[in-house]
Amino acid sequence: MEKITPHNIMLMMLSIGVLLGVARILGEIVQRFHQPAVVGELLAGVLLGPTVLGSIAPELCLFLFPQNGTNAIIFDAISTLAIVLFLMVAGIEVDLSTIWKHGKVGLKVGIISIVIPFIFGFMTAMAIPNMLGRELHVNQFTFALFLATAMSISALPVIAKTLMDMDLYRSELGMVVVSAAIFNDIVGWIVFAVVLSLMGDNPSNSGGNHIIFTIFLTLLFAGTMLTLGRWLIDKTLPFVQAYTRWPDGEISFALVLALLGAAFTEWIGIHAIFGAFLVGAAIGDSSHLREQTRVTISNFISFIFAPLFFASIGLRVNFFEHFDFLLVILVLIIACFCKLVGGVIGARWGGMALRDSWAVGFAMNSRGAMEIILGLLALEAGIINQRLFVALVIMAIITSIISGPAIRLILCPAKPWRLQDALFSKLFIRELRSLSRQDAIKEMVNVVCREFSMDQTEVECIVWEREKAMSTGIGKGVALPHARIRGLSSPLVVVGISETGIDFDSPDGKPANIIFLVLTPDSALESQLNIVSEIAKLFRNQAILQGTLKTKTFTDFLALIKSQAVSKQT
Amino acid sequence: MEKITPHNIMLMMLSIGVLLGVARILGEIVQRFHQPAVVGELLAGVLLGPTVLGSIAPELCLFLFPQNGTNAIIFDAISTLAIVLFLMVAGIEVDLSTIWKHGKVGLKVGIISIVIPFIFGFMTAMAIPNMLGRELHVNQFTFALFLATAMSISALPVIAKTLMDMDLYRSELGMVVVSAAIFNDIVGWIVFAVVLSLMGDNPSNSGGNHIIFTIFLTLLFAGTMLTLGRWLIDKTLPFVQAYTRWPDGEISFALVLALLGAAFTEWIGIHAIFGAFLVGAAIGDSSHLREQTRVTISNFISFIFAPLFFASIGLRVNFFEHFDFLLVILVLIIACFCKLVGGVIGARWGGMALRDSWAVGFAMNSRGAMEIILGLLALEAGIINQRLFVALVIMAIITSIISGPAIRLILCPAKPWRLQDALFSKLFIRELRSLSRQDAIKEMVNVVCREFSMDQTEVECIVWEREKAMSTGIGKGVALPHARIRGLSSPLVVVGISETGIDFDSPDGKPANIIFLVLTPDSALESQLNIVSEIAKLFRNQAILQGTLKTKTFTDFLALIKSQAVSKQT
């Protein structure tokens, strides 16, 4: 085999760069529509792979992402590395102690929502294996076991993300769902490891003894990692923190362990991601792991490595060619039915209200990234064919997409608005003409009423009444006139900047250089408080005011607010 | 070419895990001795590669790091990716505006410290090419041009690190050195790009037209990137910050651009790292790039990717076999002589004092990572042989190691001590027995005098005199008794914890739960102030006190102090 050539290097940089770029852009776009980023990332692969680019310009597609040769190997290796590291992050996010804290209910949901889909999936696969696309060379029992696992698994990252978006993550319902999902994931992956070992890539290895040995080693590794390994890591982390460069020592420590764990599980005959996941779970469970390390690792891996991997999935399969409508519908129905039933029964058993139980069911139903990884491994191991793989991917995406809206419909949680949601470029006045408090309010009300067709006199009157009652200058150059407006559907914040400053009767006597006019719906008291306190917190840092005065456009301003807001929180 | 097998995956995880682990451990160890981490990382490769492991257990070495086949390709690809990303970080750290600010002097040093080594290196290589290890098939002019470049280049990251360690980075001398090093790097890499294009891997490409075309494209790309590209990036960053997830959008943006830049320069016939470096420089120059992004990228890349790359260098060559003592000495003498002369003359020309000029010379002399990368590329391109490569690597390491101590000798800067440097496990008292202020001081003085054989009565007397003059309880449960002790060579901090608390007459009336006895040398007023204010700052956060009371051992305590100290600063 020859050495890696300059052409290989060029192509490697180009294909990774293009794929990552497109994946991140589409990931951002779907997030605008409150969908998980993974949907956009998969789409990037579909666009650049055989499905779309391959049918428009097959040569370009093959040039960028060759199917054979050195670059195919490199690409394969890098996307394997990416998924191994992503599973480590997924493992870190698993908080084993949560399972015990919200123990009973979570465990009940966890057990039922894995047992019902498992039995149902297994029986369906035994009953109609050919309709579900079993290939003849695959043992029916192995196939059924795989399908059962595929129906039982959840997607912790997607579930956590959906719950966080709705501010339900720290609620009791959230914790029940999260602990149930953790339980599902761990059991699901162990079962899948067994399925993989049953397949035994290499014919010489597939003797009965070998399978038992693999299962034994798998369970031994999982058990050791979650007990002794977890304890050892917890004891070692303070040494790493105390005696190595911070935070790099801790990051390397986690990565090295994950890679070695991955090598070990790959060696015993199950996939590398399994070892990385277990090591991640053991590390994430340590109370000594610092938040900064967690954030750095997950920023880098979840947003660089993960998009690369998910986009690479779309490259592997032609989604049009292998799209089988009946199979997709069948898989979707089975998956949703058994997981919803499992989730609801589990939650009811745990004593939750019916409405909450349905929310739990829909939350558990999202399969997201985990299902796709499972499907890909099964495809590579020859357990399933491309048609079923496509159906599983589509099922994973659809269950993830409907989860959020369904929970929102069921629980109608009052989503508190954030400042970012209420800022619009049309409501940004770079230089206020007014010199007095009343004029400034008038000028700002004027802009918002023109843009959103509201009654100017009424709004102005309400804001001014509030302002007269007590001045809203909070000092440090900031004023926050605000009012609740009947009939408004979402909060609106007008931003006005005045270089010279306008007297808002602040406690510190300083004129206001930046004025936020905060208009919120009549009912949304919490949103108003949220937004007002967010602004007050943000401008405690004098540098932000200075930065604001230097901004030229709304984009500059938004960039400042967003990047400063988060860097202050973490 | 076959598909990537489970064995390939296992081996990939194992070899990366082992190499990264050993590299980071040795990197940490050499840093303890105030040496740059890169020395330890290179050593890891030497230990695990043909030089050491290869001669002890050749089969294990070949199993872990095969020289041929799929895994060799994968390893090559990943270390190439690592170095490309590392050069992006090196580019980001280049601050183009610094060059202009400290313009004249920096430019003078920059020009002279590149012109003199270049001419001297070129002439030496033309005069004694064979003594320097030129291979017969290499054109003498190309060889001389390479050696000239190798002598002229600096290592910005090592220089910056050395200056920061001595608190000289923000001094005028520091800025002169940094801007000169930036100038050296940019010119050096452009010249090297030309040298590479002169080599022309592919015989069919090495016609005169092709070389001129490559040189033209190289200069065009560098020029465009540092003007138009820089401007465009600066304009685009606020949009990325405003309209994508923070900070992941910005990180991906930087990475994607660097990869595409790398692909482009590889395509025009020079190495990929060149494009990544220029893109990095253009990004790093934007005033909109946020500190958090910079820190996340460099944490991940400098401490994961870079160690992997440098360790992989040691794997490529047998350092014993190709060690040529005369050549090493010759290269070392030429390199040090011409760079020191260049640096000193440049600094004198710029009007600096003689002593400072020598410091500048030694700072510019460190070659570090950059020289090694250059050497490796030259080795791969067939410009130099393994003997010269080994000599260059050793020269790079030695010049980097001597730079810090030499500057310290010349300038004798008073290195201000930090709290971390003054903590020792022997000076950590987990539970003070004393209940009163005077007893506690006595108990703590007792420990430090026993461990460091000092006169107990004298020390106790000084500390207590100071304490009586004004109480050192600073409130929030912290007390800071301190004294300057004649004859002490470095600061010592005794830490005493009292669960019940000891009355230290604090302004807030609370008893002290944690007492720091700070003893500093008579002369080191600055160190005393530094350490005291560091402690006061740290314990402003109530959580740290709570955390301290929960620690069981010195390691736990040090881990808390280190990780909290930094996470609060960044």
Asked if the C-beta of A206 comes within 8 angstroms of chain B's C-beta atoms, the answer is no
- The proportion of chain A whose per-residue pLDDT surpasses 90, expressed as a percent, equals 32
Confirm whether A551 is domain-assigned: yes
Question: In this predicted model, what pLDDT tens digit does every residue of B35-57 receive, in sequence order?
Answer: 778 888 889 999 999 999 999 99
Domain that holds residue B348: 7-411
> For all residues of chain B together, what is the average pLDDT?
85
Confirm whether B2 is domain-assigned: no
Under the banding of pLDDT at 50, 70 and 90, the label for residue B209 is low
Pairing of strands B492-502, B423-429: parallel
Mean pLDDT, range A263-272, rounded to an integer: 85
Question: In this predicted model, what pLDDT tens digit does every residue of A279-324 receive, in sequence order?
Answer: 998 998 888 888 878 888 887 888 888 889 889 888 888 888 889 9
B548 to chain A nearest CA, in Å?
13
Domain boundary among the residues A349, A376, A411 is at A411
Confirm whether A164 is domain-assigned: yes
Confirm whether B1 is domain-assigned: no
- The domain that holds B65 is classified in CATH as 1.20.1530.20
| Chain B residues touching A37 at Cβ < 8 A | 245
CA nearest B253 in A: which residue?
A: A21
Interface probe for B, chosen from A256, A264, A279 (most Cβ of B below 10 Å), is: A256
CA nearest B570 in A: which residue?
A: A567
Residues B558 and B564: their CA atoms lie apart, in Å, by 10
Question: In this predicted model, what pLDDT tens digit does every residue of B248-289 receive, in sequence order?
Answer: 888 999 999 999 999 998 888 777 888 998 899 899 888 888
> B355 and B312 share a domain?
yes
> B234 and B174 share a domain?
yes
Nearest to A477 by CA among A445, A509, A433: A509
Instruction: With a cut of 50, say whether residue A568 has pLDDT above it.
Output: no
Instruction: With a cut of 80, say whether residue B165 has pLDDT above it.
Output: no
C-alpha to C-alpha distances, B176 to B104, B159, B185, nearest whole angstrom: 9, 12, 14
> B356 and B268 share a domain?
yes
Question: In this predicted model, what pLDDT tens digit does every residue of A416-437 receive, in sequence order?
Answer: 678 888 888 899 999 999 889 9
Q: With beta carbons less than 8 A apart as the criterion, state whether B45 and B315 touch.
A: yes
> B354 and B237 share a domain?
yes
Sign of CA dihedral B523, B529, B534, B539: positive
Residues A343 and A345: their CA atoms lie apart, in Å, by 6
Helices H / strands E in chain A, number of each? 25, 6
Q: Which residue has the higher pLDDT, B161 or A32?
A: A32
DSSP H or E run through A505: none
Instruction: With a cut of 50, say whether residue B205 has pLDDT above it.
Output: no
What pLDDT score was predicted for residue B98?
67
> B93 and B229 share a domain?
yes
| Chain A residues touching B250 at Cβ < 8 A | 563
> B117 and B57 share a domain?
yes
Residues B106 and B100: their CA atoms lie apart, in Å, by 9
B12 and A81 within 8 Å at the Cβ level: the answer is: yes
Nearest to A94 by CA among A326, A235, A283: A283
A81 and B78 within 8 Å at the Cβ level: the answer is: yes
Confirm whether A267 is domain-assigned: yes
> A254 and A113 share a domain?
yes
Axis crossing angle, helix B368-380 with helix B37-48, rounded to the nearest 10: 40
Active site residue B482: yes
> B380 and B503 share a domain?
no
CA nearest A246 in B: which residue?
A: B563
B559 and A238 within 8 Å at the Cβ level: the answer is: yes
| Chain B residues touching A263 at Cβ < 8 A | 10-11, 13-14, 17
Confirm whether A55 is domain-assigned: no
ipTM of the complex as predicted:
0.84
CA nearest B20 in A: which residue?
A: A256
Asked if the C-beta of A164 comes within 8 angstroms of chain B's C-beta atoms, the answer is no
Domain boundary among the residues B411, B435, B459 is at B411
> pTM (2 decimals)?
0.84
Number of domains present in the structure of chain A? 2
Confirm whether A536 is domain-assigned: yes
Mean pLDDT, range A257-283, rounded to an integer: 89
Sign of CA dihedral B1, B3, B5, B8: positive
Tally of CA atoms within 13 A in the half-sphere of A215 that contains its CB: 13
Confirm whether B123 is domain-assigned: yes
Domain boundary among the residues B357, B379, B411 is at B411
> B62 and B157 share a domain?
yes
> B296 and B207 share a domain?
yes
C-alpha to C-alpha distances, B103 to A561, B83, B259, B303, B353, nearest whole angstrom: 34, 30, 31, 32, 18
> A289 and A388 share a domain?
yes
Asked if the C-beta of A543 comes within 8 angstroms of chain B's C-beta atoms, the answer is no
Under the banding of pLDDT at 50, 70 and 90, the label for residue A98 is low
C-alpha to C-alpha distances, B435 to A249, B242, B365, B551, nearest whole angstrom: 39, 56, 57, 20
A24 and B256 within 8 Å at the Cβ level: the answer is: yes
Under the banding of pLDDT at 50, 70 and 90, the label for residue B1 is very low
> A522 and A388 share a domain?
no
Instruction: With a cut of 80, say whether residue B237 has pLDDT above it.
Output: yes
